[in-house]
Structure 1
């Protein structure tokens, strides 16, 4: 069902050795299927740590993480890697593409690493949807930053993930290109039913989401449904002043 949580974290605590500060201090958040959630907060608030723990890229010290109903914090490698590859897509600010591979092979790479048969028809369709039809044989180095981020998004969508985790996906892009990428993320939610969890510092980017969750000092301190850029900016000012 659409409102069933695809991502659930409960009472997450994470402390980095040597830092002496809790990056996450009892965080609980649920994200519904087919919804778009922005995660915001001041620098050092725990945004990226939350994303990494929720996606299974890092482990919390305690608490529960569920992806599509599966308790992933109890999984050992390689089952955790298998769960990520089966359920999750990633889009990062730095694109994380391999310049030695073509657009086509970058898009198919996660499925090949997972040892599953690639759905080449769907891969062609997502490449078309992100506006890169005809560029499949090009190397990422020959593409603009916005086009590289489109490749990263096509790669994330090619595996039909239940959720995409996006960490500052427009941070390296100009305003117009950033809007285009956000529109594609929004389309993934509205047309494909993919959930999006996006860390961002930009109120205009977060306004594309259905909901914004605000962190400060490793805790959830506020939330806004149906956010506007102005409303988010006002909440961020209040959160930063805490």
Structure 2
């Protein structure tokens, strides 16, 4: 089966893009290919004008450490580390000075003030998800990819997370691409991409309405091509 087929998309800088669609439509595969975590069997992935789909793993790892934040659907926290140590881990791996004050600030923003010393196993699924979001933002990355970042959260907490992601775009100049099933999340996106059966079937921009895949609304850009991803 083809996880993705003929998906050609260009995501402009400093925007928040939501990727939607039914389960099995290719959303997570799209996100992981865009972040360099999966390699497409055909087609090209570029990040900041640089082709990353053919890069060696060492170069990809360096690129992810320095320019990308990723929120995994399964969180991927290290159980032996405390909450604060998990958040600071990207800085440690990249050889940068650790910034405990920034980690505490982010944890407070996601509602986990006072839980810095806890281990992930002592947290609920929603709390672990918020740690993963703080970890993705600690390096102030150019691009944040997030797979269902509000999926385990109540409505109020989810709204706070969206405030944080919008702030990363609007104030810090980051680019955010996230997968979601939540209409309240898509309502705050600049652009919504809808996938079905591995294909892009809808592309809508805030204020321009919805266009079928292949149409390009005003001020939007699309990259044609892209072969199947197996």
Q: Quick check: TM above 0.5?
A: yes
CA positional deviation for 1:213 = 0.6
Matches within 5 A, 1:145-184: 145-184=125-164
Indicate the structure with greater helix content: 1
Runs of 4+ that moved beyond 4 A: none
Match of 1:103 in 2: 83
Query: Is the Cα contact below 8 Å between 1:146 and 1:177 reproduced in 2?
Result: no
Query: Is the Cα contact below 8 Å between 1:146 and 1:178 reproduced in 2?
Result: no
CA distances 1:137-166 after superposition (whole Å, capped 9, x unpaired): 222333344332222111111111111111
Match of 1:223 in 2: 203
Indicate the structure with greater strand content: 1
**TM-score (normalizing by structure 1):** 0.78
The correspondence for 2:171, drawn from 191, 195, 204, is 191
Q: CA RMSD in A?
A: 2.2
- Does residue 183 of structure 2 align to residue 203 of structure 1? yes
Query: Is the Cα contact below 8 Å between 2:129 and 2:152 reproduced in 1?
Result: no
CA distances 1:88-118 after superposition (whole Å, capped 9, x unpaired): 1111232221232112100111222233333
**TM-score (normalizing by structure 2):** 0.81
Higher relative CO (Cα under 8 Å, sequence separation at least 6) belongs to 2
Query: Is the Cα contact below 8 Å between 1:214 and 1:223 reproduced in 2?
Result: yes
CA positional deviation for 1:189 = 1.8
SS at match of 1:62: coil
How many residues are treated as equivalent by the alignment? Answer: 210
Structure 1, gaps ≥5 residues long:
1-20, 236-242
Query: Is the Cα contact below 8 Å between 1:149 and 1:181 reproduced in 2?
Result: no
Query: Is the Cα contact below 8 Å between 1:91 and 1:167 reproduced in 2?
Result: yes
Counterpart-to-counterpart distance in 1, 2:71 and 2:45: 20
